[in-house]
Structure 1
Amino acid sequence: MAKIDLRSEIKEFLRSRRARITPERAGLPVYGGNRRVKGLRREEVALLAGVSVDYYVRMERGSLAGTSDGVLDAVASALHLDEAERDHLFHLARQSRAPGGPRRRRPAVTVRPALQQVLDAITDAPAWICNGRYDVLATNHLARALYSPVLADTRRTANTARFVYLDPAAAGTFFVDYDRIAGDVAAKLRMEAGRDPHDEELIALVGELSTRSDLFRQRWASQDVRLHRSGRKRLHHPAVGRLDLDVESMELPADPGLLLTVYTAPAGTATADGLALLASWAAEQEKPATEIQAPERQDLPGT
């Protein structure tokens, strides 16, 4: 992928959202049974949003540069956009208003020592810091143990999106709800593309995944977007088995673009016991070789 084309992003996003809304859902009367379009017509969206047909057609052709926040809100309501979709529409509009620019490489992000201290102070729960491209930038010892399959390839910065789409056999075993996870990853990457369509590393990642994964191409074409939010994640860890974890993801205001994610489980549950077992396993894995007791020597007869 050479670039993320902003006009195409706007056009395909609005068309895809319009196609899923039926007149009945929008509260419009239906005359006759022979509709040639899937979902709403453009003139119906214009009517619901209170703008002229020409104005909405111009928007759907990829031009949001002069669109007010009020009109964006009205279109979002007409298309029944959820919170993530509404935010995405506003991100696209904001980028349309900004001066055009070439692809740019973001400065290398390093996690501040104080943030690593925060991670290390969380001793009973896996925690890590990533960016919107799913690069894993810092972990505590339990997160390294929990996500050991994701972190196994040390040739470059670990990236959850690459693991999900480029190692589907391992990812399908690790993530119990692999299909949902794959959809969420693509949707969150598209959300990131709306925030910064000129990010060179994001463009390269989307291009790599599009080239190497049929599933990613399908999910990317859906135009779905998601926010990084709280939820549940079900994993099958190779050392401790099934873990059903509560996930809290939060943006770091002092470090824009970075997310802190913490995995927990209610006390007394099988998953809480599994995390305790994971901690023991992680401690064994991180012992220096000199601390690992050698097996007793078994002398052969006659020696």
Structure 2
Amino acid sequence: MPGLRRDELAQLAGVGLSYYTRLEQGLSLNASPEVLDALARASRRTGTRRRPAPERAGDTTRQLLAAFGDAPAVVLGRRSDVLAWNRMGHTLFAGHLDPHIPDQPDQRPNTAWLVFLDAHTRDLYAEDWPKKARDVVGKLRLAAGQHPDDPRLAALIGELTMKSPEFAGMWSEHRVRRWDLATYRMHHPVVGRMQLNLQTLNVPQVDGQRIVVATAEAGTGSAAALSLLAQAGIASGVRSVRQAGRTEAAGSPR
């Protein structure tokens, strides 16, 4: 089912097409709250009729994710929503979030949103945040070109444009970037500094889904830090299971 077209959204919101286009592209930064509310209402009005089926990570994709073991890996959808992650993917990229949140389609974290609007993620990329931010924007602009009628993608771009001047500035540069390998200096709150390679693998036979895997050069301090983070993640998981067991026991009838 096709998504909401740009001219339809502008018409339903009562704004001009050219104005809405400038707003979407980050060229107009003075939209009033009334205009933003009108655009949100217009999206919701046709959302149930036009919204594409929610993305999900298939069983074989989850099997592949588990096969990476202690290598952090996440599955991303066409809007860069996190569809799934393995234990280390959650520990490395978003340990401050509920590990089960990707299973809730309306609550899934979005990597672009996290990079620009989440303090934990911004600190994670530390010295290389500008590089990571531009890579994210380039990937998002590529997605916008491939899915121009996706209302949720348009809403994400609009929110980032309104809430992040840095995003708005980078978005207005109109740079499209498809990257399959990138190296970032990262700083994790548990194990400190690491230099990691992030590699992107397309999910076979699923349009728009990809797996991002983090690795470090063998024998380096970064590899040792990843190993230490894996051990810390296991210990944290054991504590969570024990705590859940104690909670369940405390609530059981005697």
| SS in structure 2 at match of 1:234 | strand
| SS in structure 1 at match of 2:149 | coil
- Call closer, same or farther: CA 1:195–1:207 in 2, change over 3 Å: same
Q: CA deviation at 1:4?
A: 4.9
1:158 lines up with 2:109 in the alignment: yes
Larger-gyration structure (1/2): 1
Q: Mapping of 1:15-164 within 5 angstroms?
A: 104-149=50-95, 151=97, 154=101, 156-164=107-115
Larger helix percent? 2
Residue number in structure 1 paired with 2:121? 171
What amino acid is aligned across from residue 172 of structure 1 in structure 2? R
Unaligned 5+ runs, structure 2: 8-16, 23-45, 244-254
What amino acid is aligned across from residue 120 of structure 2 in structure 1? A
Q: Mapping of 1:235-246 within 5 angstroms?
A: 235-246=186-197
Q: CA deviation at 1:3?
A: 6.2
- Call closer, same or farther: CA 1:266–1:140 in 2, change over 3 Å: same
Question: TM (normalized to structure 1)?
Answer: 0.60
Q: Distance in 2 between matches of 1:267 and 1:121?
A: 19
CA contact (8 A) 2:73 2:214 kept: yes
Unaligned 5+ runs, structure 1: 13-101, 293-303
Q: Deviations over 1:66-92 (max 9, x none)?
A: xxxxxxxxxxxxxxxxxxxxxxxxxxx
Residue number in structure 2 paired with 1:23? none
Q: Distance in 2 between matches of 1:180 and 1:285?
A: 31
| SS in structure 1 at match of 2:196 | strand
| Corresponding pairs, count | 198
Q: Distance in 2 between matches of 1:219 and 1:193?
A: 15
What amino acid is aligned across from residue 235 of structure 1 in structure 2? M
Q: CA deviation at 1:253?
A: 2.7
Question: TM (normalized to structure 2)?
Answer: 0.70
Q: Distance in 1 between matches of 2:54 and 2:110?
A: 15
CA contact (8 A) 1:150 1:159 kept: no
Q: Distance in 1 between matches of 2:65 and 2:159?
A: 31
- Which of 146, 149, 152 is residue 201 of structure 1 equivalent to? 152
What amino acid is aligned across from residue 146 of structure 2 in structure 1? R
Q: CA deviation at 1:149?
A: 4.9
CA contact (8 A) 1:210 1:217 kept: yes
The sequence identity of aligned pairs, in percent, is 35
CA contact (8 A) 2:200 2:213 kept: yes
Q: Distance in 1 between matches of 2:60 and 2:87?
A: 16
